[in-house]
Amino acid sequence: MTLPHVIVVGGGFGGLAAIHALRHAPVRITLIDKRNHHLFQPLLYQVATASLAPSDIAEPLRVILAKQPNVDVLLAEVTAVDTDRKVITADGRELAYDHLIVATGARGSYFGHDAWAAHAPGLKTIGDALAIRRKILMAFERADLLNEPRERAKQLTFVVIGGGPTGVEMAGAIREIALASVPTDFRHIHPRDVRVILVEAGQDLLPPFPADLRASARKQLEGLGVEVRTGVPVRDIQAGVVVLGEERIEAATIVWAAGVRGSALGAALGAPLDRSGRVIVEPDCSIPGHPEVRVIGDLANYAHGREAPLPGVAPVAITMGQYVAQAILDDLAGKPHRKFRYLDKGSLATVGYSLAVAAIGKVHLSGVVAWLIWVFVHLMTLVGHRNRVVVFVKWAWAWAVSDRSSRLLWQDEAERDGASGS
Amino acid sequence: MTLPHVIVVGGGFGGLAAIHALRHAPVRITLIDKRNHHLFQPLLYQVATASLAPSDIAEPLRVILAKQPNVDVLLAEVTAVDTDRKVITADGRELAYDHLIVATGARGSYFGHDAWAAHAPGLKTIGDALAIRRKILMAFERADLLNEPRERAKQLTFVVIGGGPTGVEMAGAIREIALASVPTDFRHIHPRDVRVILVEAGQDLLPPFPADLRASARKQLEGLGVEVRTGVPVRDIQAGVVVLGEERIEAATIVWAAGVRGSALGAALGAPLDRSGRVIVEPDCSIPGHPEVRVIGDLANYAHGREAPLPGVAPVAITMGQYVAQAILDDLAGKPHRKFRYLDKGSLATVGYSLAVAAIGKVHLSGVVAWLIWVFVHLMTLVGHRNRVVVFVKWAWAWAVSDRSSRLLWQDEAERDGASGS
């Protein structure tokens, strides 16, 4: 007798939570991901701003799952799902499933302006983070050589679009590079020459936070010297130019942290999608007519009994992953499904070293206490014990000596060296 | 009165030693490098074999020199030197010098077979190391899926060409991945399926070492399961194929660690070159007819009063850098130059965890003692205090739990995700 086959697509927080919850289950699991690693997205901005190395926040999926014998890992991209035949296509190969968990997450969305992507990269993968790091560091290198005031000002202007946690963290971190590293590294640049502008179309930063913390985050950012521009929609983005209302801002570095939409696989399921391309799921996270197909995490629009759909954050994805694993166990045992419940434990966002906001139930915290909670929560939830130790050492070191030693550039070496392999 | 201008091209061991020795000198120094970081080459193979992250062994030049006010750092490539006008060209800009120190090192050499480079990449830059890491890890990913025996064997065959320290270290490290990571990470690969072949055209591995240590290194490698093939020249390299004498070996991963030649800038000086493209320098490291132009490190062929030219290793480069800095100080003071002296402190090479050879004067050591010396010397000479702590933590962790958590793949993400920035 062969065991039931559970295919999990996507090794993010949701997919891994489901697999972990099925560790003692009488099933065969195949995890399929187009990348070979789990990425700790909440700290990706620290790779982009040269505080951490890629390997500090990413852990190979095979390493994470090495001790779980009922899982096979497949490095491949799923391009099609046939829900009637219960078959997926991964890199041209067909695989049959009994249960399918789709947890492929979200990608950046430019709200229909796809041409903007070339000028304002998003921040979703390690490749994105290294490309943005390169842009930021090269802008300082170029400005250090320039005398012409307008071009120099353009190199030293950084625009971050989107006032959610990623945008706030990016803007604060770029401003901290200007304050901490620029004065020692670049002889001809003064921190006051460096302009960091955070743009948010809505009226406030960090919309899910309570009003007092939204105001506090803004005050902390402005204290670092970030220009916060809320209530201003982006009209256009061209190479090195952002148009805000009537104003044209010349900026060599533009980072997009504004919108996300569901990953492309969502549309392949034949289920209803919301305006952001997320799959509108049933109360048990399945899709209509196919109880054996479940969608979890950032790709799922789960609105049952709520004013707004559940937010695209790691705790929601983990809760959904654990829930659908339990539902599969219940199916195998012939038991009815329990009800899905999500308990919101609070929200955290950091602005910079010893600057943060935290909303934990009715308790609202700002500044260094919120920051210490942020540090603790992120260190404890980072995947991989070694990564926790290494990130702790790097953060402690950075705190002690104000140093950011990951600011390496290496992507263009191959081009410059030619094909000689030298 | 303007201070004399010293231009240093290349921020490796030699260039940095010269700059450090001039820290109190009444000169203006400009360091020009096409990369923004100093690279600790001796550990580059650990980035290629996924034990360390790029930022662990590289330190931004601006960070290293932040506290030396008489240095300016320029991220640019020097393409021409006019020794008569005393002017260099960097990224199209001309800069005049009073003293020039050329320390641009060496690159891989395929002994005239440049077409081999595409099939057998070398190991000189971070980009090279990440490309080789990708090849190694993808070979295991592919083999895990394959049933066809010949193609599977090809994916699991790794050929390292060159029996010097880099080749020995690479072969040992790949074999250790097979022994330590493969059994837990890949369900369908057994360590005995993984073939690692180290090829050396000469009669012995590690030619500069004494005979007993050469034999010991070979024995230690064979103990790990590496096939050592000495006295066999490579006849041809094609995509996935190495031809040794009459034998064709199919191998998905071929790494070139055999030859080096002087970097291209050496030929731009108008000085005599040896067969390897290195600049044949005068007894004071200058070039004939131009005492103000000095060549140091791997790019220099220094043979005065010796049987063979000084080897291309870090201690030689550092001694030369300190010497030419002193010569510049003597020139400024109107004093004659001292004589160049190099004291050989010994040689070290590692084969794997707790496996190494060390020749320190008449003392020859093998195995764990040599390895502990190797670990100590490399940790102490690594540039950047934070890097020492982080590398120590990673090595201690790897030693304690046999884990290699840097084995990440990320280079093809941009292609796979398309231009959406997602």
Contacts of A59 in chain B (CB under 8 A): 405
Q: How many CB pairs under 8 A join A and B?
A: 203
Please indicate whether residue B259 or residue B70 has the higher confidence score (pLDDT): B70
**A408, pLDDT greater than 70:** no
State which residue of chain B sits closest to A68, comparing Cα positions: B184
**B386, pLDDT greater than 80:** no
Distance CA A259, CA A234 (A): 12
pLDDT level of residue A414 (50, 70, 90 thresholds): very low
**A392, pLDDT greater than 90:** no
Over residues A200-237, the pLDDT tens digits come to 999 999 988 999 999 999 999 999 999 999 999 999 99
Average pLDDT in the A322-349 region?
A: 93
pLDDT score recorded for residue A410: 59
Average pLDDT in the B238-258 region?
A: 95
**B163, pLDDT greater than 90:** yes
State which residue of chain A sits closest to B146, comparing Cα positions: A74
Sign of the C-alpha dihedral computed for residues A225, A230, A236 and A237 taken in this order: positive
Over residues B125-150, the pLDDT tens digits come to 999 999 999 999 999 999 988 889 99
pLDDT level of residue A50 (50, 70, 90 thresholds): confident
Residue in A142, A177, A255, A422 to test binding to B, most B beta-carbons within 10 Å: A422
Residue in A276, A391, A420 to test binding to B, most B beta-carbons within 10 Å: A420
3-state secondary structure B13-48: HHHHHHHHHCCCCCCEEEEEECCCEEECHHHHHHHH
Q: What is the mean pLDDT of chain B?
A: 90
User: Left if phi > 0, otherwise alpha if psi is -120 to 50, otherwise beta: which for B112?
Assistant: left
**B2, pLDDT greater than 80:** yes
Please indicate whether residue A344 or residue A19 has the higher confidence score (pLDDT): A19
Distance CA B194, CA B281 (A): 46
pLDDT score recorded for residue B402: 57
Lowest mean pLDDT among A29-43, B47-61, B71-85: B47-61
pLDDT level of residue B414 (50, 70, 90 thresholds): very low
**A420 with B108: Cβ contact below 8 A:** yes
Closest residue to B185, CB basis, from A66, A141, A419:
A66
Taking chain B, what is the end-to-end CA distance rounded to the nearest angstrom? 55
Indicate the length of chain A as a whole number. Answer: 422
State which residue of chain A sits closest to B76, comparing Cα positions: A141
Average pLDDT in the B354-359 region?
A: 90
Closest residue to A421, CB basis, from B128, B184, B416:
B128
Over residues A88-113, the pLDDT tens digits come to 999 999 999 999 999 999 988 898 89
pLDDT score recorded for residue B308: 86
Class of residue B379 by CB neighbours under 10 A (exposed 0-12, middle 13-18, buried 19+): middle
Q: What is the largest CA-CA distance in chain A?
A: 75
pLDDT score recorded for residue A228: 97
Residue B137 host element (H or E):
helix B126-145
**A415, pLDDT greater than 50:** no
Q: Strand pairing of B58-60 and A227-230?
A: unpaired
CB B354 within 8 A of CB B368: yes
State which residue of chain A sits closest to B412, comparing Cα positions: A127
Please indicate whether residue A376 or residue A414 has the higher confidence score (pLDDT): A376
pLDDT score recorded for residue A113: 92
Closest residue to B35, CB basis, from A110, A126, A413:
A413
Average pLDDT in the B108-121 region?
A: 91
pLDDT score recorded for residue B390: 83
CB B154 within 8 A of CB B194: no
**B320, pLDDT greater than 60:** yes
Distance CA A359, CA A364 (A): 5
Distance CA B263, CA B392 (A): 32
Average pLDDT in the B254-270 region?
A: 93
pLDDT score recorded for residue A388: 83
Over residues B186-212, the pLDDT tens digits come to 888 999 999 999 999 999 999 889 999
Contacts of A256 in chain B (CB under 8 A): 421
Closest residue to A127, CB basis, from B75, B384, B410:
B410
pLDDT level of residue B13 (50, 70, 90 thresholds): very high
Contacts of A389 in chain B (CB under 8 A): 393, 397
0.95 exceeded by pTM: no
Distance CA A85, CA B91 (A): 60
**A417 with B125: Cβ contact below 8 A:** yes
Average pLDDT in the A118-137 region?
A: 92
**B55, pLDDT greater than 90:** no
Distance CA B134, CA B174 (A): 13
pLDDT score recorded for residue A407: 63
Sign of the C-alpha dihedral computed for residues B224, B228, B234 and B239 taken in this order: negative
pLDDT level of residue B175 (50, 70, 90 thresholds): very high
pLDDT level of residue B226 (50, 70, 90 thresholds): very high
**B60 with A393: Cβ contact below 8 A:** no
Contacts of B92 in chain A (CB under 8 A): none
Highest-confidence segment of A287-291, B126-130, B374-378: A287-291
Please indicate whether residue A383 or residue B355 has the higher confidence score (pLDDT): B355
Highest-confidence segment of A350-354, B124-128, B323-327: B323-327
CB A228 within 8 A of CB A221: yes
**B408, pLDDT greater than 70:** no
Highest-confidence segment of A122-136, A154-168, B364-378: A154-168
Report the amino acid identity of residue B150. Answer: R
Neighbours of A87 (CB within 10 A): 15
**A422, pLDDT greater than 50:** no
CB B230 within 8 A of CB B244: no
Class of residue B76 by CB neighbours under 10 A (exposed 0-12, middle 13-18, buried 19+): buried
Lowest mean pLDDT among A54-58, B85-89, B359-363, B410-414: B410-414
- The rounded percent of chain B whose pLDDT value lies above 90 is 69
B409 min Cα distance to partner chain A (Å): 6
pLDDT level of residue A274 (50, 70, 90 thresholds): very high
pLDDT score recorded for residue B417: 33
Q: What is the mean pLDDT of chain A?
A: 90
**B405, pLDDT greater than 80:** no
Active-site annotation of A, residues = 169
pLDDT score recorded for residue A395: 81
A334 min Cα distance to partner chain B (Å): 31
Distance CA B277, CA B282 (A): 16
Please indicate whether residue A43 or residue A413 has the higher confidence score (pLDDT): A43
Average pLDDT in the A247-261 region?
A: 94
